[in-house]
Structure 1
């Protein structure tokens, strides 16, 4: 592995990590900066929309504002870098706290894969396309369990 390949991998891993932090901090400006200008995102695996970065930010803002808390984590990225482009398949785990029927905490656990195409831009690595791939859910509210 060349020094540049090592740097690319570290920068891409940092980008993927910043995605998790942006959502959990509800920092939608930072969220949008993680994506290329013409990025397309597919969140249909869990009933969400397919859209551009602003449309997905608006959707996630609505979803997370209804939650008492969220925590997004990632692990085990399979990353292939080819010059100024890369692909990644990354395991994601999401914990979301909402209220159940009696206003007690309901913690939902979600396992998914992020399927990404990444590109090197003048501002560094950015996500060009992202698709969520459903893996599992535990303790989901009835509307999300479909």
Structure 2
């Protein structure tokens, strides 16, 4: 049976997961300062992204995500293992991405993945100390980048 401290810890960590998705989807990359520890290491290379310390990743996200009109991160099934002031998590994510085309509505692609996290309790509450990705599947990624037959592009 979970005690009140573990329930509180789990809820706080789950709030971090939602806060991360909200920050990314709203392009509020400064908000990541309240989600990660200062020296966090983030590895987003599973789908061709970048890896590095928090400040590097914030800059990379701002630049690389500017090309997309919209995206949404849906996180679910958090498998959180707490051990005192440290914890690990494997969290499912469905990332839907609108990919612009020359004419017409954007195309949509989907990425299925897991976040592989390490969390640490700080005086400000739980924070992510390390985040990686494990790719599961993609749908429409290559098709989304291809021109539409009716768009007049080659």
The TM tier, using the shorter chain, reads: over 0.9
SS of the residue corresponding to residue 100 of structure 1 reads coil
Residues 92 and 114 in structure 1, CA contact (< 8 A), matched pair in contact too:
yes
SS of the residue corresponding to residue 49 of structure 2 reads coil
Q: 1:56 to 1:30 in 2, by over 3 A?
A: same
Return the alpha-carbon distance in structure 2 between the equivalents of residues 30 and 69 of structure 1.
18
CA RMSD of aligned residues (A): 1.6
Paired residues for 1:6-45 under 5 Å? 6-45=7-46
Return the alpha-carbon distance in structure 1 between the equivalents of residues 104 and 49 of structure 2.
25
Aligned-pair distance for 1:103? Answer: 4.8
Q: How many residues in Structure 1 have an aligned counterpart in Structure 2? A: 144
TM-score normalised to structure 1 length: 0.92
Residues 78 and 90 in structure 1, CA contact (< 8 A), matched pair in contact too:
yes
Q: Which has the larger radius of gyration?
A: 2
Aligned to 1:135: 136
Q: Which aligned segments of 4 or more residues in structure 1 are displaced greater than 3 angstroms?
A: 101-104, 141-144
Q: 1:102 to 1:59 in 2, by over 3 A?
A: same
Aligned-pair distance for 1:68? Answer: 1.1
1:52 corresponds to 2:53? yes
Residues 86 and 121 in structure 2, CA contact (< 8 A), matched pair in contact too:
yes
Residues 32 and 57 in structure 1, CA contact (< 8 A), matched pair in contact too:
no
Q: 1:91 to 1:130 in 2, by over 3 A?
A: same
TM-score normalised to structure 2 length: 0.88
